[in-house]
Structure 1
């Protein structure tokens, strides 16, 4: 996708070093100027790994080789004053921490590292980097208003922990299909040139029906009765600006609040204006945002990896909307939609009930289901949307806005509630996930990982609200390691397997591959004697607090059902909590 940044290896070797020279990692070279400590990996079987005398001879040879190149002051030193390199300790993984006897500048540290790497039995050398307490971005609204929904409290999405791991959304494009965006100073630097897809002058507040470049929000205000008999007058909502700010507001600039994926870029796509927006315009916008061609509109040169749609209506998913979504996902774009705010089953709302989307319910400060949030089996997961009951600031989601009642006025920051506000939390986290993944995750993989890493609701939900509460830190961590091989025992769908006898505490891992388009994954254990625990994980070895399904009750009869399973590999962990024998495992994929 466009704007993806390739991660280049920082492992380099000296051009003039011998062919057998080990690699040198200079990514933290600045830390070596504060404390000249290095981690040295010796080749398997090398004497230096186990024999201190051999290791010291190698380090002495490296120091001797480096001294003439470290400047006249160091080169002239003799005896005990001369530069030396000593071993401090071995690490748990068999590497060795070594330290130079003198403080070095960047060039000197690099020279010494290359001299160590040039020794015959050295595999690699890197700086023993310094870690620091992670600082929260300095945006004042973050600390005063946003921390409840970004932080680690009961209702928080753990975004701050994901930031601490280094995820920022860099290189990812996010499309916000909404009312467009205003020229907000704390948002505009992260906006790409978007497009206004509204093809009706009354709705757009423009002079004619033409679609225009830009994606700027001209206001969605209306006079009394304009949107139907008895409809009251309404001010402009600047809804798209609020949504976009949650995703990618400029961060760490000492102004306003923070965006979840603050190094991502937002593509504003305007489809909503006075009295709403037409389905036909919205469908075209979905395809265009993902990189598809729409007649009469210049092709999008910055296709989005994820689309935010905080919009919808009380009707079934229509065929043309489903076709537009299918086109977007076929192009690799993740589509995330709001569940709706009618406190009703999500099945009667679109696009929330469409296939191939991630549908988001809303929670409040304590992690409770927001009273307005739609609910039901169609919800994939929940995210902070604000309940409104806790007052200011904890009852609301805070983001960028505008104070104009009709046309744009001044930049402000304001609190809104709704599944519209929950959805950009998920979209921002998707951008964080894509920015750290070794290769772009498919829409199905993103959905599977989000649901598998969602955390248990801190309080009981009043209605079904998805697999759990969005956990940015866990989702980002899984995205980083996604695709790494995990060994497991293959299973055959529809065929019962006799499990081996297991001692208490024993654990076996099984695998099942799920093809696209499946609607139900059923996993059961039964028969025999003893007691088992069953966990399922999507593309991961499941843990009790991080899984796609769990069953732990007395006896051997355990069952997990995954509705609308993602395409890919599921891992099934079968653990004996008491000694077992004669039990069977049955997996069905429908």
Structure 2
């Protein structure tokens, strides 16, 4: 689109909209003057402003989570949250290096966040499967509470057309929020609303309405201001090759606090309040880490590397979101804000989905705002669910154009241009109606109400005035009630009693019953949605198995959760394989309890073509074969294991043993070593699991307990040619008059011409042996069947050496062997 085309479009709209504005009632005409009390003079009606012909921007563009969705299969940074009271351990970087080796990339701590969490950055993007490997590895650290992708959030508005002649969303009678009644007594004076959004744009209809804010975008390219975080929250524009700049934060700010009764433009809900712009959204959205820090800072909390906020906000408005259930680190940020006395209000989102799968609206302690159109109808694509606190005008989201939300804007296609106005739709527009009303309620109460009390007033008065949102009042869709600012202010001021609590959403429909062994098709599922099933398992069953299977042509990634006796959720389940990609998942239980087994299927991202099946059987699974017995220091070679298969071994360890070691090495593919004392190890129960890529893994136990130690070799990917050696130091029965079967399992060429030769043998009489290298004794060692010898070769290149092992101090020796090597610099 050229500049000429933009100019022509704007001019045409200005002409059309000026005509409808001329016929629209002014703010003064929306409400008659209040009747005078006996003995008082009547109030004079405010003078009606002259009709204006403001500049109207072209229709709002479809910026928002539906068109700029976070990447679902690629991750480059994570937020590591620690247990309460715990600090990052000194060996975190060492652990990150180990995980980086597993994934083949460098991982480093980038910075500490305001919540105490740490942001770690990877040297390359990883996919879903690698993400799960990284999370599993880091969660093994006892001080780590959560490991979550540092995703992005985006503006929550969607396509709409302008030409709306008046702000219907402030009217009463079930049309809008009934702001005009509240304005009889309050305007929000003395209170600050932080707008965490695209940043600040000066506008004549917002003149004098701002307090100092901050730019929290840490990526200079996304910030477009040449640096990272700084004290200047100026909106630099978020245009790209497809869309013009949205000036989203300016539209939100106008709804909160546009100057009112000034003979210019539009009105704001809390026009006596101040707006604090906190810039978190650039052209590429905003990262969780930046948004979390901004929430903490806006509430008056401290953020490393950022000066403290001298004017902490009473209310935070978050007209942004992402299709991610509330991350631990974001919940921590909200908790800090709430502890600082700040109310946190967020747009529910525009994906026609359950709000619990979105953040920040799905976080605890956040007032989640659903969207309405004119006359208390459901905004077309608002998110919904039990987590919704209240509803507010978002526009209809459909034609006619005059059913959207009108507020301040800028006409710049890229950088800032002239002041303008525009109609936008989306729950982004709903949230600032609630934020502004919260400021009115605070003023009416004299500032004594806390966030929970304000939310209760908004919720109860909204239901008393408007009932439930039409078309969003059932178990499948729940949007609570449209707020009523006039009644909320009256209750806060003590002029009216608080109405009773509104009803909650009706109970969810019962889970779909599964029949034994019968698969049920799931159909298409959008990201973050779930479906519930139940299988009644009778007494005396040997096993029950639940299968989630992708059929031919299936797409996306869905996960199965299983729990006995109650519905599983994200944190409570008996089984959750949680594998990545379009793959099958299985949950299996031996000798299951009789009764209801509940199944939840969650679409990790949009998916279709899956089926779910529950099967119980009177015959339990065949017992695993008995584990192969290991001998101290004796290597088991040529081990093979298929993908998903497992092999078991056992070693008897005497009471006086020390330095127990299990070493798996060699071969091709990728197997994993699990070790557990006293019982067979499983995928979740073990004493040691290195979990590295390839087959070279070791578990050490300096002071092992006496008894049986079990080994599990699991095929992460099919592997062959593996060797397994278990050894310990301690008293043993002699294996013969002289050591036998001396061998060098492999030879390691180290840097600097050094060569390491692991030796193994059997037998020998006595507790010690002499190790002979090229005919000379180089060590006297415990006769435990293994010894590692390292020497420096005389020259770079190929060479050979001889070894023997003898009973210490005797000539009772093994046969001599020759070891070939190639030394390197």
Give TM-score, length-normalised by structure 1: 0.57
Alignment of 1:489-504 (within 5 A): none
1:156 offset after TM fit, Å?
1.1
Alpha-carbon distance in structure 2 between the residues aligned to 1:171 and 1:391 = 38
C-alpha change, 1:185 and 1:247, in structure 2 (3 Å) is same
- Distance in 1 (alpha carbons) for counterparts of 2:442 and 2:168: 24
Aligned 8 A contact 1:141 1:257 in 2:
no
What is aligned with 2:379?
A: 370
- 463, 467, 472: which one pairs with 2:485? 472
Rounded Cα–Cα distance in structure 2 between residues aligned with 1:243 and 1:379: 20
Q: Give 3-state SS (helix, strand or coil) of 2:454's partner.
A: helix
- 2:451 counterpart of 1:443: yes
Alignment of 1:378-457 (within 5 A): 378-393=387-402, 395-454=403-462, 455-457=466-468
Three-state SS of the structure 2 residue aligned to 1:322 is helix
The match for 1:187 is 206
Partner of 2:305 in structure 1? Answer: 296
SS of the residue aligned with 2:167?
A: helix
Contact 2:316 / 2:343 at 8 angstroms: preserved in 1? yes
1:234 paired to 2:187: no
CA distance in 2, matches of 1:208, 1:134: 48
Q: 1:162 aligned to 2:189?
A: no
Q: What is the aligned partner in structure 1 of residue 502 from structure 2?
A: 549
Judged with a 3 Å threshold, the aligned counterparts in structure 2 of structure 1 residues 134 and 186 are, in CA distance, closer, same or farther, namely closer
Residue equivalent to 2:166: 146
Counterpart CA distance in 2 for 1:350 and 1:144 is: 30
CA distance in 1, matches of 2:405, 2:373: 9
Distance 1:337 1:138, change over 3 A: farther
Contact 2:469 2:480 in 1 (8 A): no
Q: Are the aligned partners of 1:283 and 1:321 in contact in 2 as well (CA < 8 Å)?
A: yes
Shift of 1:405: 1.3
Answering whether residue 346 of structure 2 is matched by residue 337 of structure 1, we say yes
Residue 407 of structure 1, CA deviation? 1.0
Q: Could you give the per-residue CA deviations for residues 67-101 of structure 1, whole angstroms, max 9, x where no partner exists?
A: xxxxxxxxxxxxxxxxxxxxxxxx8xxxxx6xxxx
In structure 2, how many angstroms separate the alpha carbons of the residues matched to 1:141 and 1:353? 41
Post-superposition offset of 1:389: 2.6
CA gap of 1:192–1:138, structure 2 versus 1, over 3 A, is farther
State the shift of 1:189 in Å: 1.6
Contact residue 366 and residue 458 of structure 1 kept, 8 A:
no
- Distance in structure 2 (CA, Å) of the matches to 1:413 and 1:385: 16
SS of the equivalent of 2:349 reads coil
Higher RCO (Cα < 8 Å, 6 or more apart): 1
Please, what is the CA RMSD of the aligned residues?
Answer: 2.7
Aligned residue for 2:293? 284
Q: Unaligned regions of 5+ residues in structure 1, if any?
A: 1-37, 40-90, 92-96, 98-127, 224-232, 483-539, 552-558, 562-590
Return the alpha-carbon distance in structure 1 between the equivalents of residues 53 and 477 of structure 2.
32
Structure 2 residue 481 is the aligned partner of structure 1 residue 461: no
How much has 1:440 moved relative to structure 2? 3.0
SS in 2 for 1:213: coil
Please state how far the C-alpha of 1:438 moved relative to its aligned partner. 2.5
Describe the SS at the equivalent of 2:401.
coil
The structure with the largest strand share of the pair is 2
Residues 560 and 373 (structure 1), Cα distance of their counterparts in 2 relative to 1, 3 Å cut:
closer
Cα contact 1:397–1:417 (8 A) shared by 2: yes
> Do 1:369 and 1:465's aligned partners in 2 also have CA atoms closer than 8 Å?
no
Q: Is the 8 A contact 2:378 2:469 kept in 1?
A: no
Contact 1:140 1:257 in 2 (8 A): no
Match of 1:119 in 2: none
What's the CA shift for 1:479?
1.1
Give the CA deviation at 1:301. 0.9
Residue of structure 2 aligned with 1:215, choices 221, 233, 245 = 233
Instruction: Answer yes or no: is the 8 Å Cα contact 1:306–1:335 preserved in 2.
Output: yes
SS of equivalent to 2:375:
coil
Instruction: Deviation per CA, 1:348-372: give whole Å up to 9, x if none.
Output: 1111110001000001112111111
Structure of greater Rg? 2
Q: 2:408, 2:220 → 1: CA distance?
A: 27
- The residue correspondences of 1:97-108 to structure 2 (distance < 5 A) are none
Change (3 A) 1:202 1:184: same
State the SS of the aligned residue for 2:446. Answer: coil
What secondary structure sits across from 1:383 in the alignment? strand
Structure 2, gaps ≥5 residues long: 1-35, 55-162, 508-825
Cα offset for 1:297? 1.4
1:357 counterpart = 2:366: yes
Note closer, same or farther for the CA distance 1:244–1:379 as it changes in structure 2 (3 Å cut): same
Cα 1:459–1:477 shift into 2, 3 Å: same
In structure 2, distance between residues paired with 1:336 and 1:253: 28
Contact 1:242 1:401 in 2 (8 A): yes
- The within-5 A match list for 1:238-317 is 238-317=247-326
Spell out, residue by residue over 1:38-91, the C-alpha distance to the aligned partner (whole angstroms, 9 max, x if none).
99xxxxxxxxxxxxxxxxxxxxxxxxxxxxxxxxxxxxxxxxxxxxxxxxxxx8
Does the CA-based 8 Å contact 1:217-1:238 persist in structure 2?
A: yes
| 1:152 Cα offset (Å) | 1.8
Note closer, same or farther for the CA distance 1:477–1:460 as it changes in structure 2 (3 Å cut). same
Q: Secondary structure at the match of 1:453?
A: helix
Residue 269 of structure 1 aligns to a residue whose secondary structure is strand
Report the alpha carbon displacement of residue 258 of structure 1 after superposing the two structures with TM. 0.7
User: Which residue of structure 1 aligns with residue 224 of structure 2?
Assistant: 205
1:453/1:135 Cα in 2 relative to 1: closer, same or farther (>3 Å)? farther
Q: Which moved more, 1:152-161 or 1:280-289?
A: 152-161
Shift, 1:263, TM fit: 0.8
Q: Cα distance 1:136–1:397, how it changes in 2: closer, same or farther (>3 A)?
A: farther
Instruction: Provide Cα deviations, 1:529-580, integer angstroms capped at 9, x if missing partner.
Output: xxxxxxxxxxx855xxx431369xxxxxxx999xxxxxxxxxxxxxxxxxxx
- Whose helix proportion is higher, 1 or 2? 1
Output the CA distance in 2 between the equivalents of 1:354 and 1:378.
9
Evaluate the alpha carbon distance shift between residue 415 and residue 322 of structure 1 in structure 2; reply closer, same or farther with a 3 A threshold. same
